[in-house]
Amino acid sequence: MKKFYRLLRSYGVALLGCLFLSATLCVAEEAEGVKGMAEEEFTPTKEVLNVKFVEFDCPKDVTVCSLEKALKDAEGVQVKLQKQDKAFPNGGGSVNAAEVKAVHDGTAIYFQVSWDDATKNAQAIATQEFRDGVALMFPLGKVVVSTDEKFSPRMGDRQKPVNLWHWKADWEADMVASGGIEECPVRYPNMHDDFSTNPHSVNYHKGLMQSAAVLAGGVSAHNLLSMPNRGRTVEDLNAEGFGTLTSQDHQDVNACSKYENSKWTVIFYRLLNSNDPLDVQFVPGESTYFNMAVWNGDKEDRNGQKNISTQWHPLALERIAWQ
């Protein structure tokens, strides 16, 4: 113990100095990233995503295959992606591009996003597992994006909120899982449970300790990430810049997906008007913008470690035929 205190006296100041310098560099890197955005990031791309009006009957069972015909003639745009390099910790860079196309039927809007991915990662139970995912982001309200009217394409800005739709591959797996959520036995089928194997276990204690409401804090807090039977594969969120991402109380978006030939295809769908002030509202004949991000679970992408587009993309909804 005395030796420890001697070492602490000798090197304590140096260690504290290193910690202070490390924290300062991290803050400086994040601050520089936020303030040092290139002018190009405030300039929307020239290519416009035209949301074609298509008359069709939405299938009762919404799948990628059942929507294929409706989206067949829609013109897609290629969105370039890169690593997230502004907010610490940085990450991503394994997905270079994605294709986005969209249609609406006068009632609902459908966005199809496709990208190459060598592995399907639809489970995030073990600590070393990470899911595949994709998110679309839209500004709230009518906005103009330009170098004069700056609006960050990276999670929005203070007083300039965005609406995000985040599809998660493991949430899609939960939709068909027993009990509405994949739990530890799916990943660890031979895991031991004292209460099921101990013949002397008191029934009351067994029921208590197996109660998700008691042991699972996320379920008790009604955390959407922990809740079974969500009934959807997308999380509907808002943000006003880095570190402000918040899940909505009212979830309005859903999606379906298909993984085939080392490629993900995800189709988001929602009513044009959700009557939720925290949601983007789509009006046929009018325009807005979108941006996006992709997560590659095989490369340990998660949270802000992702593949992003650094520019807003104009989006124009075609008028309804009888308007």
pLDDT in tens, 256-301: 999 999 999 999 999 999 999 999 999 999 999 999 999 999 999 9
Every domain of the chain with CATH number 2.60.40.1190 lies at 38-181+233-317
What pTM value is reported for the model?
0.83
- Residue 101 contacts residue 77 (beta carbons within 8 Å): yes
139: cis peptide before it, omega within 30°? no
- Residue 149 contacts residue 290 (beta carbons within 8 Å): no
pLDDT at residue 121 is higher than 90: yes
Q: For the chain, what is the mean pLDDT?
A: 86
- Residue 318 contacts residue 75 (beta carbons within 8 Å): no
| pLDDT for 33 | 39
In tens, the pLDDT along 49-79 reads 999 999 999 898 999 999 999 999 999 999 9
For domain 38-181+233-317, the CATH architecture is: Sandwich (2.60)
Confidence of residue 38 (pLDDT cuts 50, 70, 90): confident
The residues pairing with 320 across neighbouring beta strands, listed in sequence order, are none
- Residue 87 contacts residue 33 (beta carbons within 8 Å): yes
pLDDT at residue 322 is higher than 80: no
| pLDDT for 188 | 84
- Residue 286 contacts residue 317 (beta carbons within 8 Å): yes
Residue recorded with tokens 């008191």: 202
| pLDDT for 163 | 98
| pLDDT for 9 | 58
- The conformation of residue 179, written as its DSSP 8-state character, comes to G
Half-sphere exposure of 197 (CA within 13 A, CB side): 5
- Residue 254 contacts residue 233 (beta carbons within 8 Å): yes
The residues pairing with 132 across neighbouring beta strands, listed in sequence order, are none
d(CA 289, CA 204): 56
| pLDDT for 184 | 79
Give the rounded percent of residues in the chain with a pLDDT score beyond 90: 65
Compute the C-alpha angle 303/121/125, nearest 5°: 70
In tens, the pLDDT along 228-241 reads 888 899 999 999 99
Distances (CA, A) of 289 to 52, 113, 151: 15, 16, 11
| pLDDT for 125 | 87
For the record, the structure tokens of 231 come out as 């009934």
d(CA 191, CA 193): 7
d(CA 51, CA 318): 6
Amino acid of residue 42: F
In tens, the pLDDT along 12-21 reads 545 445 544 4
Sequence-separated (6 or more) residues with CB below 8 Å from residue 228? 174, 179, 180, 181, 219
In tens, the pLDDT along 135-154 reads 999 999 999 999 898 999 99
In tens, the pLDDT along 173-219 reads 999 888 888 877 788 888 776 656 666 655 656 665 556 556 666 77
- Residue spans of alpha helices (H) in the chain: 2-35, 64-71, 169-174, 184-187, 194-197, 203-209, 212-215, 217-220
| pLDDT for 15 | 47
| pLDDT for 177 | 86
- Residue 143 contacts residue 291 (beta carbons within 8 Å): no
pLDDT at residue 246 is higher than 50: yes
pLDDT at residue 43 is higher than 90: yes
Residue recorded with tokens 């991915």: 117
Distances (CA, A) of 190 to 184, 187, 193, 209, 250: 10, 9, 9, 19, 38
